[in-house]
Structures are given as C-alpha cells and as structure tokens.
Amino acid sequence: MSIAALGALLAPVVEPGFFSSEAVRVAIVVGALVAVTAGTVGVFTVMRGQSFAGEALGDIDTTGGSAAFLVGIGPLWGFLAVSVAAAAAMELIGIQRPRGRDLATGIVLGTALGLAALLLYLVTTLHNTTGAAQTILFGSVFTVPGSTIPLVALLSVVVLGSIATLYRPLLLSSLSAEMAAARGLHVRALGAAYLLALAVAIALAAITIGSILSTALLVGPAATALRLTRRPGTAIALAGGLGVTAMWLGILLAYDSFAWPPLGTGWPVSFFVVTLIFLGYLLSGVPELLRRRAGAA
C-alpha cells in the first residue's frame, strides 16, 4: 500500500499535520519510552501493593521538583534528587512493613507537600509568577523539548536494566517475602533497590508527562495486565504494550480535539490517556466476572 493510500485511509481519524508536527513526534517517542518503563516497574508496584508510594512520589516530584525548577535548579536533576530523597525517607520510616507502609508514605507525602507549599510561596513572591500551580499539576507531553529524548532514553534504559538484573530475586521477594528470606535473599535491600528504580521511573514520568499520567501509566496498565495473565513476564510485556497504546491513542485524540468544541483550545492529553487506561482496567474485569457468573449458574 502506498503512503498516499494510507494517508487517505487515516484521513477521517487523523487531523491533518499529525505526522509532520515536531511536538507530536517528540510526544510519541517520549510517551512510548515512559509508558514502557512505567509499565514494567508498575507490575512490581502492583504486586508489592505500593501504588500509594508511586502516586506520592509523583506528587512530591511535581510540586517539589517544579518549585526547585522555578528557583533555577536544572529540571530533571531537581526532580531526580527530590524523588530519590523522598523514596529514601519512605524506606527509612518503614515502607517495608505491610502494616506501616501506608503510613510511611503518608507522612512523607504530607511533609513534602508542606515544604512544597513553602517553596511555591517563596517562588511566587520572589519571582512574581502566577499560574505556577497549574503547570506543575498538569504537565503536558506536547511541551517536552526534543533535546531531552536522549536523556529520557538513557534513564529508561537504566531503570529497565536494573529491573532486568534483579528480575528473579525481585519477583520472588515481591510475591512472597518470607520465601525469599528463607532462600537467603536480602529482602530489605531488594525492596530499597526497587524503590530507587521506582523513584527514578516516576521522576522521569512526572517531568515529561505530569504527575496524573505518571500514576496512571504506572498502576493502570500493570493492574490490567495482571488481571489478564498470571505469568509475570507476559504481564510486563502486556503492561508495556497497553501503556504505549493508551499513550499514543491519547496523543492522537488530543491532537484531533483541537478541532472539537470549544474550538482552538484542544482537550488535555492526560484526560484521554487516563480515560483509556481506566476503561481498559474496567474491561479487564469482565472475563473474570463472566467466569464467576458461569460458575455460579
């Protein structure tokens, strides 16, 4: 099929200029990298029941890191530092104990947001900028500069590489901490290493696509995949695939939405991606529901 024919086929779906837009191209590449990284880490996050930690890190990164950015510290490094520091604090307070996990995350989140409130206040009074909270809350993938692609790719590789290196022990300790400990694995060190990988992945996601999408891409595709398959390797591949699909479809819809009412402003990418992920999760519950109903009948 020629490219022209393909273009004609896609014309009703894709608004003109989609594939030639630089912002869209960058968004597609960065979105895919982040979605694969978040999906992979997310499978472990869901298994370990640490979605709250992922969400909290995203919030802390975007508020604290963006405030640091407004002060003038380099954005990605600021985000990384904040993220890793927050993860270390959670580990120290006791995220490894199931009973105290929620609380450790909550205490760190509350304190960090308090500090962020101070930073934002100082920044807005010193620099007289308004609307900081909005950009911080809803980062947009369309505003990512193309020059960051190599760095994003590098950090994704670092995260994926460390997960791959630790794969078997991490999997065992995530499924059953007791069994892992019985086999002589250092469960706490593994947990800390995983938390570090999570912190880097979240920093990466939060700075490129905002804290809403970082949580959505971390938890949604992974939870959906784990409902559809029991094999961890398949789940990781599936989570990555679902994340990339949701991200790309969301970018496409957001681009198309510039032609929707109210004209010219466009609808946010995060809304589309989150909705797609949420629907995917709901749909993935249907097979089990049918099975249960069939079993009952």
Partner 1 sequence: MFSGFMVNAWEVASIVAVVAGIVGFFVVLRGSAFVAHAIPNGSFAGAAGASLIGVSTLVGLGAFSLLGALGIGLLGRRGRHDVVTALALVMMLGLGALFVSLSVEYEPEIESLLFGEVLGISNNAVAPTAALALVCVAAIAALYRPLMLSSVLAEVGEARGVRAFTMELCFLVVVALATTMTVPVVGTLLIFSLMIGPPAAARSFVDRPLAAIGLSVAIALITVWSAIAASYTTNYPIGFYVGTISAVAYALGRAWAAWRARRCSGGDARRDYGVSGASNIAA
Pick the closer one to partner 1 by CB: 124 or 162.
124
> Which DSSP string corresponds to 206-218?
HHHHHHHHHHHHH
Pick the closer one to partner 1 by CB: 157 or 283.
283
Q: Measured from the CB of residue 258, what is the shortest distance to partner 1 in angstroms?
A: 12
Pick the closer one to partner 1 by CB: 51 or 174.
51
| Separation of alpha carbons 42 and 44, rounded Å | 5
Pick the closer one to partner 1 by CB: 56 or 198.
56
Q: Measured from the CB of residue 131, what is the shortest distance to partner 1 in angstroms?
A: 5
| Separation of alpha carbons 285 and 250, rounded Å | 22
| Separation of alpha carbons 256 and 192, rounded Å | 42
Pick the closer one to partner 1 by CB: 162 or 248.
248
Amino acid at 62: T
Q: Measured from the CB of residue 147, what is the shortest distance to partner 1 in angstroms?
A: 26
Q: Measured from the CB of residue 137, what is the shortest distance to partner 1 in angstroms?
A: 7
Residue 52's H or E segment, with its range, is: helix 51-60
Contacts of 198 (CB under 8 A, 6+ apart): 41, 44, 45, 50, 53, 54, 57, 87
Binding-site ranges for partner 1 (CB under 8 A): 46, 49-52, 54-56, 99, 101-103, 105-107, 109-115, 117-118, 120-121, 130-134, 137-138, 212-213, 215-216, 218-220, 223, 227, 262, 265-268, 270-271, 273-275, 277-278, 281, 285, 288-289
DSSP code of 47?
Answer: H
Q: Measured from the CB of residue 51, what is the shortest distance to partner 1 in angstroms?
A: 4
Amino acid at 216: A
From the number of C-beta atoms within 10 Å of its C-beta (0-12, 13-18, 19+), residue 93 rates as: middle
Q: Which of 249, 241, 203, 197 is nearest to 221 (CA)?
A: 241
Q: Measured from the CB of residue 238, what is the shortest distance to partner 1 in angstroms?
A: 15
Pick the closer one to partner 1 by CB: 148 or 275.
275
